[in-house]
């Protein structure tokens, strides 16, 4: 998943759409040595193997997309992509002007189709998994960490893994995680209470919430109580370090060359963090495998029933032929579970709390809903059955996922031409950037798209909307496998937070009280952090 579009990142979002020319044979290996670029000569990849004259054909097909003005006919839109808040405002402008799609080019070799309307998004995201390709230019930096996992793999390999992993995200499994979400949230709230007792109620959300989501994931994935919210944990620090370094690498042009990157300070830090993360996961997987092999069936059934965690489930998953996942594959999936699950969910929680802090009347309405739900209870905990009984809170969470989507965009390539409305064709092999941000802020689809209005998600409004208008978790065969997990955690954290605290806009250390500047990185963050004033509420009956 990609989120930000720094101008230096051009080769990551650009497209070798007619790479049969001799210049591409020179340039691509130069920028990405060590990869197989023989296809630039028309020899390798089916995706890009075009008959003679194909470049012109591809260009003709692309000519049906509007091209925003460029500074130069030669380098095209190179250098025009902006990062930070300005990058998002730039997408707003594109969406206002071009309504559904446009195409960019970077120098003579690279093209990118950008789409931001549900009717254009649909054929791309709904295309069968077998013809969808996660392009290596965008996802390759994740490979040393995640291996050939579900997030990165393609074709038959992806489809086998998706089948094997689906059971790990079934409702019956997710139910067991609710207690964990409550416990991790309680730990974070106790921390906040201590901070407030020390006279500070201006709290930065991203730090605490990210540690909290990591704490939950560690318990759900490995049954590991790391205490990472209270004290430094080597594994958790290494995951945070890896996520930061991936973003940093994207921003630095020279670091895109593997042979340079591994020699840099950042590359060395990446390797060190990687060995901690892989060492930890490998250890858990091997110990579990050993335990299972040592226990006979009768011992297993006689043993006290243990709540199954993610590793237990994927260790026992088998396909139709009785084939399970190898240790390396399990390692890759466990690492992906931690990577894909922590930052994204933390971003969604932080922005939901931020939006409710900005709109006190909606905050109050959610709080009343939670108080009503728990009014007969002795223990203030959210249970699995409660998740469907928080309709207004759910509407606020969804509206926040629309307005501040954690993931800004995803990219895809296809092994066949794809037809879009108006008889437009995306030629096979061309990278398409499906803008989640653009679709969620498209005024043709959402009236006053920059307003926070939870009523958009009232049930009867759903019927009038396209199924690809709201896509925080992407859509189609390669949608987010963890979305129910994420939504369950979001509801628990938001409900318990509103029950115990009143939130209002905070003060940035630079003194800014209003006008948070959004920061599109791997996930959507806020420049200088997201600060909220947190005021404890009196517990029930006092």
**Residue pair 250/141 in contact by the 8 Å Cβ criterion:** yes
- Cα 241 from Cα 270, distance rounded (Å): 8
How far is the CA of 332 from the CAs of 109, 311, 337, 346, in angstroms?
A: 34, 11, 9, 22
* Nearest in space to 151 (alpha carbons), one of 345, 370, 340: 340
Task: Report the residue from 6, 429, 482, 520 that binds ligand HEM according to the rule CB under 6 A.
Answer: 482
Where does 252-309 have alpha helices with state H? Answer: 258-261, 265-294, 297-302
Nearer to ligand HEM, 61 or 404 (CB): 404
Residue 407 binding ligand HEM, by CB under 6 A: yes
* Token code pair at residue 80: 């025009």
**Of 231-239, 273-281, 369-377, 477-485, which part binds ligand HEM (CB under 6 A)?**
477-485
- Cα 283 from Cα 187, distance rounded (Å): 27
Helix, strand, coil shares, percent, the chain, to 5 = 55, 10, 35
At its nearest, how many Å lie between ligand HEM and the CB of residue 129? 8
Residue 480 binding ligand HEM, by CB under 6 A: yes
Where does 77-177 have alpha helices with state H? Answer: 84-98, 118-125, 136-139, 143-146, 155-166, 171-174
At its nearest, how many Å lie between ligand HEM and the CB of residue 213? 8
Q: How does strand 110-115 pair with strand 431-435?
A: parallel
Tell which positions 484-503 bind ligand HEM, by CB under 6 A.
485-486
> In 10 A of CB 444, how many CB atoms?
14
Nearer to ligand HEM, 181 or 531 (CB): 181
Which positions from 326 to 345 touch ligand HEM by CB under 6 A, shown as an x/- string? ----------xx--xx--xx
* Token code pair at residue 69: 């003005």
At its nearest, how many Å lie between ligand HEM and the CB of residue 175? 15
**Residue pair 317/167 in contact by the 8 Å Cβ criterion:** yes
Crossing angle of helices 391-403 and 360-374, in 10° steps, is 140
**Of 15-23, 278-286, 291-299, 405-413, which part binds ligand HEM (CB under 6 A)?**
405-413
* Token code pair at residue 425: 């064709």
- Cα 97 from Cα 63, distance rounded (Å): 17
At its nearest, how many Å lie between ligand HEM and the CB of residue 474? 4
Residue 473 binding ligand HEM, by CB under 6 A: yes
| Residue 221 phi, psi dihedral angles, 5° rounding | -80, -45
Nearer to ligand HEM, 64 or 131 (CB): 131
Residue 474 binding ligand HEM, by CB under 6 A: yes
* Token code pair at residue 303: 């043993």
Nearer to ligand HEM, 24 or 347 (CB): 347
Task: Report the residue from 151, 284, 331, 530 that binds ligand HEM according to the rule CB under 6 A.
Answer: 151
Nearer to ligand HEM, 189 or 478 (CB): 478
Q: How many residues bind ligand HEM (CB under 6 A)?
A: 23
Task: Report the residue from 150, 164, 212, 516 that binds ligand HEM according to the rule CB under 6 A.
Answer: 150
Nearer to ligand HEM, 243 or 345 (CB): 345
Residue 116 binding ligand HEM, by CB under 6 A: no
Which positions from 53 to 72 touch ligand HEM by CB under 6 A, shown as an x/- string? --------------------
Question: Which H, E and C letters describe 220-270, residue by residue?
Answer: HHHCCCCCCCCCCCHHHHHHHHHHHHHHHHHHCHHHHCHHHHCCCHHHHHH
Nearer to ligand HEM, 212 or 410 (CB): 410
At its nearest, how many Å lie between ligand HEM and the CB of residue 407? 4
- Cα 370 from Cα 397, distance rounded (Å): 14
Nearer to ligand HEM, 15 or 151 (CB): 151
At its nearest, how many Å lie between ligand HEM and the CB of residue 328? 17
* Token code pair at residue 289: 């495998």
**Of 7-15, 245-253, 416-424, 478-486, which part binds ligand HEM (CB under 6 A)?**
478-486
Nearer to ligand HEM, 374 or 486 (CB): 486
Question: Any known ligand binding at 480?
Answer: yes
Nearer to ligand HEM, 165 or 499 (CB): 165
How far is the CA of 158 from the CAs of 216, 415, 428, in angstroms?
A: 26, 15, 20
Nearer to ligand HEM, 4 or 474 (CB): 474
Task: Report the residue from 381, 481, 496, 526 that binds ligand HEM according to the rule CB under 6 A.
Answer: 481
**Of 236-244, 476-484, 509-517, 534-542, which part binds ligand HEM (CB under 6 A)?**
476-484
Residue 524 binding ligand HEM, by CB under 6 A: no
- Starting from the edge strand earliest in sequence, which strands make up the sheet with 132-133, in order? 101-106, 110-115, 431-435, 409-414, 132-133
* Token code pair at residue 416: 């066949």
At its nearest, how many Å lie between ligand HEM and the CB of residue 478? 4
Residue 216 binding ligand HEM, by CB under 6 A: no
* Token code pair at residue 213: 């989501």
Residue 70 exposed, middle or buried by CB count within 10 Å (0-12, 13-18, 19+) = middle
Residue 178 binding ligand HEM, by CB under 6 A: no
Task: List interacting residues with ligand HEM (CB under 6 A).
Answer: 1, 150-151, 162, 336-337, 340-341, 344-345, 348, 406-407, 410, 472-474, 478, 480-482, 485-486
Instruction: Provide the annotated binding site for heme.
Output: 480
């Amino acid at each position: 998943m990609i989120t930000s579009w720094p101008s230096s990142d051009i080769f990551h979002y650009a497209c070798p759409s007619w790479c049969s020319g001799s210049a591409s044979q020179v340039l691509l290996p130069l920028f990405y040595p060590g990869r197989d670029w023989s296809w630039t000569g028309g020899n390798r990849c089916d995706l890009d193997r075009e008959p003679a004259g194909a470049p012109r054909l591809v260009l003709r097909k692309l000519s049906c997309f509007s091209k925003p003005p460029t500074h130069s006919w030669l380098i095209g839109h190179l250098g025009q992509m902006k990062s930070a808040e300005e990058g998002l405002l730039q997408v707003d402008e594109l969406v206002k002007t071009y309504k559904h799609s446009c195409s960019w080019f970077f120098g003579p070799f690279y093209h990118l189709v950008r789409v931001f309307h549900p009717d254009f998004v649909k054929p791309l995201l709904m295309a069968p998994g077998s013809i969808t390709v996660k392009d290596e230019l965008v996802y390759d930096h994740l490979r040393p960490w995640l291996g050939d996992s579900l997030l990165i793999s393609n074709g038959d390999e992806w489809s086998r893994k998706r089948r094997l992993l689906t059971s790990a995200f079934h409702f019956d499994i997710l139910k067991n995680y609710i207690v964990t979400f409550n416990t991790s949230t309680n730990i974070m709230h106790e921390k906040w209470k201590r901070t407030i007792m020390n006279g500070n109620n201006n709290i930065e959300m991203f730090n605490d919430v990210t540690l909290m989501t990591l704490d939950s994931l560690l318990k759900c994935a490995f049954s590991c109580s790391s205490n990472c919210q209270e004290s430094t944990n080597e594994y958790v620090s290494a995951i945070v370090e890896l996520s930061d370094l991936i973003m940093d690498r994207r921003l630095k042009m020279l670091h895109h060359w593997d042979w340079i990157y591994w020699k840099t300070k950042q590359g060395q830090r990446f390797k060190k963090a990687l060995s901690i993360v892989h060492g930890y996961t490998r250890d858990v997987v091997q110990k579990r495998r050993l335990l299972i092999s040592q226990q006979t069936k009768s011992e297993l059934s006689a043993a006290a029933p243990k709540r199954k965690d993610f590793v237990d489930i994927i260790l026992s998953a088998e396909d139709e032929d009785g084939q399970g996942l190898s240790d390396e594959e399990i390692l890759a999936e466990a690492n992906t579970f931690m990577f894909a699950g922590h930052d994204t969910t933390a971003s969604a929680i932080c922005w939901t709390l931020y939006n409710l802090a900005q709109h006190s009347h909606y905050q109050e309405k959610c709080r009343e809903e939670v108080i009503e739900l728990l009014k007969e209870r002795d223990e203030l905990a959210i249970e699995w059955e409660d998740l469907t009984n928080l309709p207004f809170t759910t509407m606020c969470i969804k509206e926040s996922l629309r307005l501040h989507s954690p993931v800004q965009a995803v990219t895809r390539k296809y092994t066949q031409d794809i037809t879009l409305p108006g008889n437009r064709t995306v030629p096979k092999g061309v990278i398409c950037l499906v803008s989640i941000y653009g679709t969620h802020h498209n005024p043709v689809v959402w009236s006053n798209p920059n307003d926070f209005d939870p009523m958009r998600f009232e049930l009867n409004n759903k019927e009038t909307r396209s199924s690809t208008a709201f896509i925080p978790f992407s859509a189609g065969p390669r949608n987010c496998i963890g979305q129910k997990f994420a939504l369950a955690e979001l509801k628990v954290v938001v409900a318990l937070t509103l029950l115990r605290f009143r939130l209002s806009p905070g003060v940035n250390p630079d003194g800014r009280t209003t006008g948070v500047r959004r920061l599109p990185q791997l996930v959507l963050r806020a420049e200088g952090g997201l600060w909220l004033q947190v005021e404890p509420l009196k517990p029930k009956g006092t």
